[in-house]
Amino acid sequence: MRRILLSFLLVMILAPLGYYGFTMYWPQTLPKGGKQVPIRLGSGALESIQTLHQAGILPYPQMFRLAWMMAGHPILQAGLYDFQGRISQEQVLRRLRNGQSTPLNLVIIPGWTLSMVLQALHNDSPYLNLHALPVGEQAGRQLADVGVGANGSAEGWLFPDSYRYVPGSTALSILKRAYQRMHTNLWHLWSKRAAGLPLQDPYQALILASIVQKEGAPPAQQAHIAAVFLNRLRKGMPLQSDPTVIYALGKHYQGHLTPQDMQVSSPFNTYLHAGLPPTPIAMPGMSSLQAVLHPSDSQNLYFIAQGNTYHYSTTYAQHIQQIKRYLQATARTAS
């Protein structure tokens, strides 16, 4: 009788342990292609467990919750989790504890405008929270009002880089990180700038760097191009930069500039107005920022690009000759 009782007690003890071991450690086979499950920022453990259960990753959610409690209530990290092949509930718990998720990144490319960044947020970032993200023509000013930008605009203030996030992160939090990166880098470079620059403050450097960036020159040419623009500023000459006209045209730009386009009435048209435009025209990268604050030692006032080859001139007469040679070379190539 005693032996039967002991056997019964042993079964009563081992059965739950066996069931626990089976549910937590026996892997299940997922459908072909696997499953991707977003665990959003701010989700509590119970909400995360329910999300995984509904996605078919946790067939025994109560046992998973028990295992989570026995592990000391660890934080289940937010992230986009990609589950493939065969996986056990114990492996799922371990992955969420360690945050082993698929990286999600917002990439801001040097030369992007604010409208391009906002478009990427709306079209290419499905797991971001877009709540309170402004849109439309006033987006730049509205972002500056909430700490993304300065001088009344967010244009130019987002440092080009890759910014990692997890599902549920707010788009505004990403933009604030990008703004802080630009602010920190700009002020650091400004503190070590070359002497004698015709720039009154870091914001003017940011504006000019955005123009240098949009000229599209290789990094090796940017310091020389920056010197041309800085020399023009010293002499009170218009910058005469095509990208500023393109920016002024906005959606009306058709892919090439016409004589009529060059007369567009806008403070951004540096053919009609001397000095800098009122705001940056794009997000400058580190190389264009450095080029403006450490320009080449040059007296040139003009440049012309022939592919990746740049020709510089100190006088208008020399510049005209460069243009004639460029046109002649282009005609020979076409024939």
Boundary (domain end) residue, out of 187, 214, 239: 187
Task: Based on the fold, state whether residues 48 and 137 are members of the same structural domain.
Answer: no
Q: Are residues 203 and 324 in the same domain?
A: yes
User: Do residues 213 and 179 both lie within one domain?
Assistant: no
Q: Is residue 317 part of a domain?
A: yes
Of 149, 153, 213, 208, nearest to 182 (Cα)? 149
Assigned domain for 161 exists:
yes
3 domain residue, yes or no: no
**pLDDT confidence bin for 10, thresholds 50/70/90:** very low
pTM of the model: 0.88
- Compute the distance between CA of residue 44 and CA of residue 21 in angstroms, rounded to an integer: 25
CB 174 within 8 A of CB 181: no
List, for residues 121-149, the tens digit of each pLDDT value: 999 998 999 988 998 889 999 999 999 99
| pLDDT tens, position by position, 229-273 | 999 999 999 999 999 999 999 999 998 999 999 999 999 999 999
* Cα end-to-end distance, the chain, whole Å: 108
Predicted pLDDT of residue 17? 47
Give me the domain span that covers residue 240.
195-334
Q: Are 274 and 259 in the same domain?
A: yes
Q: Where are the alpha helices (DSSP H) in 60-217?
A: 61-70, 89-98, 114-123, 139-145, 171-191, 202-214
Which residue reads 């290789």 in tokens?
218
Residues 264-297: tens digit of each pLDDT = 999 999 999 999 999 999 999 999 999 999 999 9
**Residue where a domain stops, chosen among 187, 219, 238:** 187
In a domain, 19, yes or no: no
Distance in angstroms (rounded) separating the CA atoms of residues 81 and 95: 9
In a shared domain, residues 326 and 205: yes
pLDDT band at 85 (very low <50, low <70, confident <90, very high): very high
